[in-house]
Amino acid sequence: MQWVTTTQVLEELKASNEAQVWRRFCDHFRPVVVNFARHLGLSATDAEDAAQETMVEFLKAFRDGKYDRQKGRLSNWLFGVARRVILNLRGHQPLERLVADKTTGTSFWDLIQDDHSIKHSWETQWRQMVLTKCLEQARRELDSKVFEAFELYALSETPVDEVAQLLKMSRNAVYIAKSRVLSRLRQLERQFE
Amino acid sequence: MNCPEQEVIEHYMSGELTDVELTEFKTHLQACPACKAKVAEADTNERLLTELRTFGKQIPQASKYSNTEVATIDRAQSFLGDRYRVIRKVGEGAAGQVFQAIDTVLERLVAIKFLRQKPKHDAKVPDVCKNREVFTRKSPVDGADSEAWREARLMSQLNHPNIAQVYEIGELGAQRFIVMEWVDGLPLTEAWKGLQLQQRLRIYLSVLDAVAAAHRRNIIHRDIKPSNILVTSEQKPKVLDFGIALETLERIEEGVYRGTPSYSAPEQISPPVKIYPATDVFALGVLFYELLTDTLPFPQTDAKELFQAIRSEYPELPSAIQEKIPIPLQNICLKALEKEPQKRYPNAQSLSDEIHRYLGGEKIWSRPSFLTDKVHQEVFYHRQKLKVWHDNELLTEKEFDKLEGIYERMISPPDLSIIEARKLSLSQVCLYLGGWVVVLGSFVLFYKNWEQIPRGWRPMPAIVATAVMVIFGIAMWYRNESRLSVGFLATANLLIPITILLTLAQWEILSPAYYPWGEESIAEGLRKSKSYLIVGNVQLFTSSLCWFVASLVFLRTTRSSIFLVFSIIAFLAWLSTYYIISGMEDWTTDIVAGRYLFPHIGLLILGVILDRHRYVKYAWPLCVVGLAGIVICLSIIARSDKTLFFWLWPTENIPEWYGKIIMTIMEGQKDAELLGFVCNGIVYFCLAHICRLQATRLQRGLAQVLNWLGPIHILATLRMLDGVVESETRELIYRILLPIASLGFVFGSVARQMKSFFFSGLAGIAAAVHKFTVEHLDKSFAWPVSLIITGIVWMFVSWLVPRWKANQALKRKG
């Protein structure tokens, strides 16, 4: 997927009506909402519906000028919309659908402790999405050997000697690879947000 | 102290340094701001890394990030019931998920695509979106759903061995699915790794066939790329994913981009988006470029740069990447990658035809516009120089005119009707063959005086045939059917001298005062035999003159050199007949020829050596004389009474074993003639091949001559049977074999455009007609008339059958 920052996506959305822009926006943020809804206990189909509605609600608000980038992060705004949509959707569900496990009596409401945990859940999904996109972009940008060294050593925690031997590079080169990828990830992270 | 390596910083961060190392490192840090910054960065990096590790192994795999699993295998199975047993999930796209399954009834593997369900809240689409068709129709879920159904519908229309077949379209409640042919294969570019160019081309042509089938159904694929073409282990490609295909031949879609960037045509990425079958041709051109070079024509990874390059830049020449790429294939590839769709091949079939033309050994006329533009620029520059040289009298008027003419021809576009007329397609060959039969039929009218027919009627068949040919030739010309027109007019052109000569002779106009062949005895002999119609030299002169004028008129009108070629061939055939009758048999022997053969071979070799050393002006005469001498000597040897083997060992004292072998093989000396001519034909083919390997102009010319000699000598063998046949069976073989072999040469010439075989075949047919007429039908006036009628009917059939077939095809499509 092409690397596009949040700012770019929003600017495009403001300036253009093209389907391509809409699709890019959805590609960016829809999975977060779907995962968030799933995390809150909605079924897969309902989660998809919730995400679709969130996207449409946000677009309407954005075009009406209700969302101002200067006043807060997009993540927070989208969270507000998604939360409202999910709770509305829940309101239309029959009671049985909300009971996740009848045997233990755990209900949908039992899964949601408080606003703080909802917010935490959202932040986790958002963060995961951002890091995923940054990793994807770093993988595209950097030399494949460098990225592989990073994956093996830093993420999979393979011993440095093994990585060096496997990729036929020096130990120091493995450490440099790790440092380079992480530095680039931080840059990309800043760009994205 | 030098700055420590990254490894030391890492060890410092993880607390793995010894006390001594730690002290040393800290001391260095205080003095080195750069290392201090590195440590601070490493610290921040560590925090990010901890976060990444928290998300676990999910993150590195997230490049294949998918939406939540809407349908698991169990759920998929619950929709399908007993008929299909799901094995595994094989993929997921915007339109839905794909599973591999077993069709338990027909016991075969199938691919089942589950389409995403429609959202339940379509009504909540905001007004701002509702006004815009693009947003309401193309929102991911809704759009994907309709696209997938369209894909299924379009694919089910296409029944082609290279398109993945749709077996069933199902719907259970809200869940829709498509059951398709399971294709176990590799993406195209993966599959052709390690394959030779010819093997790759074979696969590619199958892909073109598939896309051409879609184009014939007015379907444009719009997303042709390697991953949408799977190649099975039997090297059979299957085109998949008609998900974004369009069911119209031309369409404008404002503001909608569909496709894969690297394979998108300029018109696909520039608003307003216009889609043509040529849009697919561009993607096929990109594939062809990859086939030739293993790289993309536009390798840019950034989308903006890529689109810019597709719109305005030319790709690197394939031959600059892979030296051995045949230039015609490069030109075909670049023609498919033209920026303007009008300049590309109009559809996949045209592209396929062009590649087939190359494989069939025909000349390719595709010229990529950026190459022709360059030629035009260069020619313009050269012509200006020519003018300066001419003004300064460095060039004569004649030289200047000649060079101007050459440059004019270089930049004028090729006349497609002439190219088409020169091409040996089946219908074209049938047309010419019909024409040739008409000519032969008219020629047979010379065989007798036809005393039983009133004098005024005797030349009538030829006159009528000529009139028919001229009228239809002109009518076709005005109907822009140039190919047919050339066929009819060429026949008329050959008929004109025959008809005039017949008319003059039979109606006793310009009656002969004396006979043209000079030898009084031959003319007298012919007159006494009463078997041939005798014409006078004034009549011959008149008809030749009329023929020449007619040739010029036709040449001037149609600009087809076939008239010139036919006239020359007919004239040379006339002369060579008398040369053979009066020449070779009387005053040459195989002994004399044997003596002259080696000197001529020497001359030819010397000519070739001189040519290799760039003394072309001395090489030409040596080669011509050498080759002519070799041909004459070999023909005499083959025609002689002695066997070729005996000639090779000319002394009388041959070993006994050698004599026995020869006698066993030959079964008599007379067969030597047959073997000799066949051997000569093969020798000429081999020589032609050797000459073609050397790429000088002179040797290419020699190869062309030898190419003509080969088939002529092989057919001549059959003609020679006339002299050696003894039994009835062999007579039958001769009568049947010569016409069949000749027809084989004529129709066999189509495959590789072998004009030498085509014309040799026509000569063979003429020989067979002559033999048949002389032996059996020399008294029947119906025989030439029936030949003429058969030829005319054959010509019309070869004209009308392709039209009828085309009409039938159109009706079927309708």
Task: Note the pLDDT tens digit of each residue in B171-194.
Answer: 766 667 788 888 877 888 888 877
Pairing relationship of beta strands B96-103 and B237-239 according to DSSP bridges: unpaired
pLDDT at B285: 93
Q: Which of B233, B282, B275, B284 is nearest to B257 (CA)?
A: B275
- pLDDT over 90, % of chain B: 6
> What is the nearest CA distance from B69 to chain A, expressed in angstroms?
7
pLDDT at B354: 86
Question: CA B183, B185, B189, B191 torsion: positive or negative?
Answer: negative
- Tokens 């990585």 found at: A163
Long-range CB contacts (< 8 A, 24+ apart) of A157-166?
A: A157/B53
pLDDT at B58: 41
pLDDT at B562: 77
Please judge whether B60 and A135 are an interchain contact, meaning their C-beta atoms are less than 8 angstroms apart.
Answer: yes
**Quick one: tokens of B280?**
């697919």
The DSSP secondary-structure symbol of B220 reads: B
pLDDT at B748: 84
Task: Please compute the mean of the pLDDT values over residues B243-255 and round it to a whole number.
Answer: 51
Task: Please compute the mean of the pLDDT values over residues B489-509 and round it to a whole number.
Answer: 88
| Residues B166-183: b if buried by 16+ CB within 10 A, e if exposed | bbebbeeeebbbbbbbbb
pLDDT in tens, B464-480: 999 999 999 999 888 87
Please judge whether A172 and B257 are an interchain contact, meaning their C-beta atoms are less than 8 angstroms apart.
Answer: no
Q: How confident is the model at residue B287 (pLDDT cuts 50, 70, 90)?
A: very high
Please judge whether A52 and B128 are an interchain contact, meaning their C-beta atoms are less than 8 angstroms apart.
Answer: no
**Quick one: tokens of B244?**
């974004």
* Side-chain-side CA neighbours of residue B296 (13 Å): 15
> What is the nearest CA distance from B125 to chain A, expressed in angstroms?
6
pLDDT at B468: 93
Closest by Cβ to B59, choosing from A2, A26, A132? A132
Separation of alpha carbons B42 and A187, rounded Å:
14
Q: Give the full edge-to-edge strand order of the sheet including B237-239.
A: B185-187, B229-232, B237-239
In whole angstroms, how far apart are CA B7 and each of A176, B556, B614? Answer: 8, 85, 68
pLDDT at B727: 56
More confident residue, B678 or B78: B678
Helix axes B397-411, B369-391, angle to 10 degrees: 170
The DSSP secondary-structure symbol of A70 reads: G
pLDDT at B437: 92
Task: Please compute the mean of the pLDDT values over residues A157-167 and round it to a whole number.
Answer: 82
Choose the weakest-confidence range: A93-107, A116-130, B211-225. Answer: A93-107
Interface contact A99, partner B, CB < 8 A: no
Longest Cα–Cα distance of chain B, Å, equals 131
pLDDT at B518: 45
pLDDT surpassing 60 at residue B213: yes
Residue of A nearest to B39 (CA): A179
**Quick one: tokens of B780?**
């029947």
| Residues B5-29: b if buried by 16+ CB within 10 A, e if exposed | ebbbbbbbeeeebeeeeeeebeebb
pLDDT surpassing 60 at residue A101: no
pLDDT at A97: 43
Please judge whether B256 and A22 are an interchain contact, meaning their C-beta atoms are less than 8 angstroms apart.
Answer: no
| Residues B57-76: b if buried by 16+ CB within 10 A, e if exposed | eebbebeebebbebbeeebb
More confident residue, B521 or B90: B90
Choose the weakest-confidence range: B8-22, B243-257, B505-519. Answer: B243-257
pLDDT surpassing 80 at residue B224: yes
Q: Which of A32, A27, A34 is nearest to A49 (CA)?
A: A34
pLDDT surpassing 80 at residue A110: no
Contacts of B125 in chain A (CB under 8 A): 56
Q: Which of residues 30-49 of A touch B (CB under 8 A)?
A: 30-31, 34-35, 38, 44-45, 47-49
Choose the weakest-confidence range: B30-34, B113-117, B132-136, B395-399. Answer: B132-136
Residue B726: strand, helix, or coil? coil
Separation of alpha carbons B235 and B254, rounded Å:
39
- pLDDT over 70, % of chain A: 79
Cβ–Cβ pairs < 8 A, chains A and B: 132
Please judge whether B121 and A53 are an interchain contact, meaning their C-beta atoms are less than 8 angstroms apart.
Answer: yes
Q: How confident is the model at residue B367 (pLDDT cuts 50, 70, 90)?
A: confident
Give me chain B's average pLDDT, please: 74
Contacts of A30 in chain B (CB under 8 A): 67, 140
Closest by Cβ to A175, choosing from B7, B60, B70? B7
Distance, C-alpha B167 to centroid of its chain: 35
Interface contact A135, partner B, CB < 8 A: yes
pLDDT at A109: 45
Q: How confident is the model at residue A155 (pLDDT cuts 50, 70, 90)?
A: confident
Longest Cα–Cα distance of chain A, Å, equals 62
Separation of alpha carbons B326 and B501, rounded Å:
50
Q: How confident is the model at residue B654 (pLDDT cuts 50, 70, 90)?
A: low
Task: Please compute the mean of the pLDDT values over residues B380-391 and round it to a whole number.
Answer: 89
Closest by Cβ to B53, choosing from A31, A155, A175? A155
Contact assessment for residue B766 and residue B447, using Cβ atoms and an 8 Å cutoff: no
Interface contact A144, partner B, CB < 8 A: no
pLDDT at B165: 82
Choose the weakest-confidence range: A151-160, B258-267, B769-778. Answer: B769-778
More confident residue, B722 or B700: B700
In whole angstroms, how far apart are CA B201 and each of B161, B235, B266, B296, B338? Answer: 17, 11, 25, 17, 21
Contacts of B117 in chain A (CB under 8 A): 45, 48
Task: Please compute the mean of the pLDDT values over residues B748-762 and round it to a whole number.
Answer: 81
> What is the nearest CA distance from A115 to chain B, expressed in angstroms?
22
Separation of alpha carbons B449 and B438, rounded Å:
19
Give me chain A's average pLDDT, please: 75
pLDDT at B499: 92
Please judge whether B119 and A49 are an interchain contact, meaning their C-beta atoms are less than 8 angstroms apart.
Answer: yes
Residue positions counted in chain B: 814
Closest by Cβ to B125, choosing from A56, A135, A155? A56
Contacts of A135 in chain B (CB under 8 A): 52, 59-60, 62-63
Separation of alpha carbons B301 and B314, rounded Å:
16
pLDDT at B289: 92
Contact assessment for residue A32 and residue A126, using Cβ atoms and an 8 Å cutoff: yes
Please judge whether B48 and A185 are an interchain contact, meaning their C-beta atoms are less than 8 angstroms apart.
Answer: yes
> What is the nearest CA distance from A131 to chain B, expressed in angstroms?
8
pLDDT at A142: 83
Task: Please tell me which of B62-66, B380-384, B708-712 the model is most confident about, judged by mean pLDDT.
Answer: B380-384
pLDDT at B598: 82
For residue A103, report the phi and psi dihedrals to the nearest 5 degrees: -65, -35
> What is the nearest CA distance from B563 to chain A, expressed in angstroms?
60
Contacts of A22 in chain B (CB under 8 A): 134-135, 138-139
- Tokens 């019931």 found at: B81
Residue of B nearest to A130 (CA): B59
Contacts of B256 in chain A (CB under 8 A): 18-20
Interface contact A20, partner B, CB < 8 A: yes
Q: How confident is the model at residue B492 (pLDDT cuts 50, 70, 90)?
A: very high
Q: What phi-psi label fits residue B526: left (phi over 0), alpha (psi between -120 and 50 degrees) or beta?
A: alpha
More confident residue, B560 or A82: A82
pLDDT at B57: 41
Interface contact A132, partner B, CB < 8 A: yes
Task: Please compute the mean of the pLDDT values over residues A130-135 and round it to a whole number.
Answer: 84
pLDDT at B577: 45
pLDDT surpassing 60 at residue B123: no
Please judge whether B69 and A44 are an interchain contact, meaning their C-beta atoms are less than 8 angstroms apart.
Answer: yes
pLDDT at B288: 93
Tell me: cis bond preceding B272? Omega within 30 of 0 counts: yes
Separation of alpha carbons A47 and B70, rounded Å:
10
Contacts of B10 in chain A (CB under 8 A): 175, 178
In whole angstroms, how far apart are CA B215 and each of B193, B264, B277? Answer: 28, 17, 7
Separation of alpha carbons B341 and B763, rounded Å:
46
